């Protein structure tokens, strides 16, 4: 599989509303895969492949480009940067992080910590406290000069390299560069087949702050069928009851039945399941107890669409150690291309 593309996607900074670098990377990759490519006013990248037959159904894949991150909200007198989160962070995972502050003039390294004392001089009570996200700040090492380089609204991402560990991949942005990778690689695999459908692969903006780019993109496309492509939980790890694990890493792509944003179309779930069995593509049905994804925006756009989700189980999600399995990624790619292939032109 094209691991190099996944690595480059994961290591490119792009938080909600600041997806431009990821969008540029995808634009350079998709080259001849589509007939029409354009960026909409909210920053989503619309890629359309025309059908070879009239009145073809419109199939829309929604793959969000943004990763969770921060925007600089204040630079204090000493040059420390204060932040507002864009996306759901657990403050327990934010201690002692290396970060990148992305300015118009270039990227600046920084370290993130909460205000407070080191272990040597803190009391037992102080050590038990988990700070709120808003108590973390960034030290760029530049002191007051930071104010000359950094501007309010600049994006901040975690600074962590992509890792390949056996059959597993680790990165801070697998949610959701996994789907960007799938949107590209499923189309590559499809080749010239599937001309009986008008295919829209939309790389959406601002999912992590409430499916915002997907809502306007789906309104524009007005699909017949929407497929939300995303990560989901894989809590097959210590400390989580078996009933809450959501997916098991390495057991195939997740066939998304329900989350708190939408309930998948029963017919589509059945179709994908039959297809996966026929093609011997490993899969697992999955439901998410809390959380949403772009498939909901497709389902509820305009007069509504049939929608489902194709998801990839991810351990340690929304941390810098997000982990996915190669088998699951390849299965997700294969089911997407097999499904599109079924629309013969
Ligand atoms: Zn996501």
34-60 confidence digits (pLDDT tens)? 999 999 999 999 999 999 999 999 999
- As annotated, the active-site residues are 207
Confidence (pTM): 0.96
64 is in an annotated binding site: yes
Q: How confident is the model at residue 130 (pLDDT cuts 50, 70, 90)?
A: confident
53 CA distance to ligand 1 centroid (A)?
34
Asked if residue 119 has pLDDT above 90, the reply is: no
Q: Is 230 annotated as a binding residue?
A: yes
The Å distance, Cα 283 to ligand 1 centre, comes to 19
154 is in an annotated binding site: no
Residue 31 has pLDDT above 90, yes or no: no
DSSP 107-171: EEEEEEEESS--GGG--HHHHHPPPPGGGEEEE-S-GGGHHHH--TT-EEEE----EEETTEEEE
Give residue 116 CA to ligand 1 midpoint distance, Å: 32
pLDDT at 194: 97
Which pLDDT score is estimated for 122? 87
Q: What is the distance in A from the centroid of ligand 1 to the CA of 231?
A: 5
CATH of the structural domain 3-67+172-341, one choice from 3.40.50.880, 3.40.630.10, 3.90.1410.10, 2.30.40.10: 3.40.630.10
Q: Is 328 annotated as a binding residue?
A: no
Q: What is the Å distance from ligand 1's center to 82 Cα?
A: 25
Alpha carbons 68 and 225: distance in angstroms, whole number:
27
Q: Check residue 98 and give left, alpha or beta (phi > 0: left; psi -120 to 50: alpha).
A: beta
* 208 marked as part of a ligand binding site: yes
Burial-class residue 74 by CB neighbours within 10 Å (0-12, 13-18, 19+).
exposed
Q: Topology of 69-158 in CATH?
A: Elongation Factor Tu (Ef-tu); domain 3 (2.40.30)
pLDDT at 127: 84
Q: How far is CA 310 from CA 127, 194, 223, 256, 260, in A?
A: 42, 18, 16, 6, 16
Please report which confidence band the pLDDT of residue 116 belongs to, taking 50, 70 and 90 as the band edges: confident
Q: List the domain boundaries for the chain.
A: 3-67+172-341, 69-158
């Amino acid at each position: 599989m094209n691991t190099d593309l996944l690595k480059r996607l994961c290591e490119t900074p792009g938080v909600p509303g600041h997806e431009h670098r990821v969008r540029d990377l995808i634009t350079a990759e998709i080259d001849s895969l589509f007939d029409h490519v354009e960026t909409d006013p909210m920053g989503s990248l619309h890629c359309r492949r025309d059908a070879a037959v009239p009145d073809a159904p419109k199939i829309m894949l929604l793959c969000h480009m943004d990763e969770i991150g921060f925007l600089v909200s204040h630079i204090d007198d000493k040059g420390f940067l204060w932040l507002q989160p864009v996306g759901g962070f657990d403050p327990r995972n934010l201690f002692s992080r290396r970060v990148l502050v992305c300015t118009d003039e270039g990227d600046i390294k920084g370290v993130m910590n909460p205000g407070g004392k080191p272990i040597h001089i803190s009391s037992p009570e102080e050590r038990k406290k988990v700070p709120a996200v808003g108590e973390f700040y960034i030290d760029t090492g530049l002191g007051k000069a930071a104010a000359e380089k950094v501007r309010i609204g600049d994006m901040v991402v975690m600074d962590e390299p992509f890792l390949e560990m056996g059959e597993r991949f680790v990165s801070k942005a697998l949610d959701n560069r996994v789907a960007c990778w799938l949107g590209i690689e499923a189309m590559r695999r499809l080749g010239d087949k599937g001309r009986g459908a008008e295919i829209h692969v939309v790389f959406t903006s601002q999912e992590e702050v409430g499916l915002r780019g997907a809502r306007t993109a789906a309104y524009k496309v007005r699909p017949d069928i929407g497929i939300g492509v995303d990560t989901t939980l894989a809590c097959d790890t210590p400390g989580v009851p078996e009933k809450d694990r959501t997916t098991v890493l390495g057991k195939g792509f997740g066939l998304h039945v329900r989350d708190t944003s939408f309930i998948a179309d029963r017919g589509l779930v059945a179709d994908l399941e039959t297809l996966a069995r026929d093609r011997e593509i490993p899969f697992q049905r999955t439901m998410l107890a809390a959380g949403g994804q772009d498939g909901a925006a497709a389902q509820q756009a305009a007069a509504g669409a049939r929608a489902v989700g194709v998801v990839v189980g991810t351990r340690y999600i929304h941390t810098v150690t997000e982990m996915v399995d190669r088998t699951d990624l390849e299965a997700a790619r294969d089911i997407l291309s097999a499904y599109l292939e079924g629309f013969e032109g």
